[in-house]
């Protein structure tokens, strides 16, 4: 199932769930992708050359992605312009301990597409700010990168028809009823990792409940 996340009842207990998850996670490698390095340069140093390099990487992918759901070339480029400007303006919200650049840009692109289609803003969850005192956790960032790499591999290994369904789902072409009957990507491990990234922001979450 696309939605085949961990439904273990122990996940209701954050601490028990977390400890169980830690023991299952593989050791992170020491690979940080160029996109993450570039995005951090944009976020922390407003680096225009890094931004231009991110454009070179993502713009053709965004265009392919957007045009697959039937949008014309000119409108696709308008959306790319909005998305890349949002990447520049909202770079402070990028948190490599929770998301790879591709995941963050995917979200921005889908938000923009939906806002255009529906002509109203998509409801989004509360933003979780960085803990100003938190040290950047390199091993957590590398673990997220590694899990994202695994997802890409899993996607590449799918049979063409299965892969087509996954792509349709993430292009936003399947309803939740359709999604629940489909086979999907294994997301349990990356979910556990993201959860570790979220734990850093826990004090904020406590205030939210």
Partner 1 sequence: MTAINHHTPDAMLAAYATGNLPQPYALVVAAHISLCLDCRASYEAHLAAGGAVLETCATEAVSDGLKSSILDRLDTPYTPEPTYQRMGVYPAPVMQALKGKAIRWKSLGLGVRQSILSSDQNGSARLLFIPSGQAVPEHSHNGLELTLVLQGSFSDDTGRFGVGDLEVADQALEHTPTADPGPPCICLAATDAPLRFNTFLPRLLQPLFRI
- Residues 113-152 binding partner 1 (CB under 8 A) are 113-114, 118, 120-127, 147-148, 151-152
Alpha-carbon distance 50 to 38, whole Å? 5
* Planar angle of CA 81, 175, 96, nearest 5 degrees: 45
CB of 120 to partner 1, least distance (A): 7
For the chain, count helices (H), then strands (E).
Answer: 10, 0
Contact call for residues 100 and 33 (beta carbons, < 8 A) = yes
Number of residues lying near partner 1 (CB under 8 A): 94
CB of 148 to partner 1, least distance (A): 6
CB of 176 to partner 1, least distance (A): 4
Alpha-carbon distance 142 to 27, whole Å? 10
Alpha-carbon distance 35 to 63, whole Å? 18
CB of 37 to partner 1, least distance (A): 16
SS3 27: coil
Q: Output the six-digit token pair for 114.
A: 């939906």
CB of 136 to partner 1, least distance (A): 18
Instruction: Report the site for partner 1 in 31-70 (rule: CB under 8 A).
Output: 48, 51-52, 55-56, 58-65, 67-68
Cβ closest to partner 1, residue 7 vs residue 24:
7
Which residue from 36, 140, 146, 192 is in contact with partner 1, where contact means CB under 8 A? 192
Instruction: Report the site for partner 1 in 81-110 (rule: CB under 8 A).
Output: 81, 84-85, 88-89, 98-107, 109-110
């Amino acid at each position: 199932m696309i939605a085949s996340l961990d439904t273990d009842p122990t996940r209701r207990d954050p601490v028990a769930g977390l400890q169980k998850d830690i023991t299952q996670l593989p050791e992170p490698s020491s690979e940080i992708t160029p996109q993450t390095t570039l995005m951090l340069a944009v976020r922390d140093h407003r680096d225009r050359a890094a931004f231009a390099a991110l454009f070179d990487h993502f713009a053709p992918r965004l265009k392919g992605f957007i045009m697959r759901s039937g949008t014309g070339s000119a409108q696709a480029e308008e959306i790319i312009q909005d998305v890349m400007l949002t990447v520049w303006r909202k770079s402070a919200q990028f948190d490599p301990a929770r998301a790879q650049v591709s995941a963050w840009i995917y979200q921005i692109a889908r938000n923009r597409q939906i806002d255009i289609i529906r002509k109203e803003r998509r409801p989004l969850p509360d933003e979780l700010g960085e803990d100003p005192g938190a040290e950047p956790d390199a091993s957590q960032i590398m673990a997220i990168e590694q899990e994202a790499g695994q997802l890409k591999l899993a996607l590449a290994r799918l049979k063409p028809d299965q892969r087509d369904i996954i792509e349709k789902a993430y292009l936003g072409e399947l309803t939740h009823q359709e999604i629940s009957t489909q086979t999907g990507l294994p997301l349990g491990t990356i979910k556990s990792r993201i959860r570790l990234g979220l734990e850093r922001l826990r004090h904020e979450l406590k205030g939210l409940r």
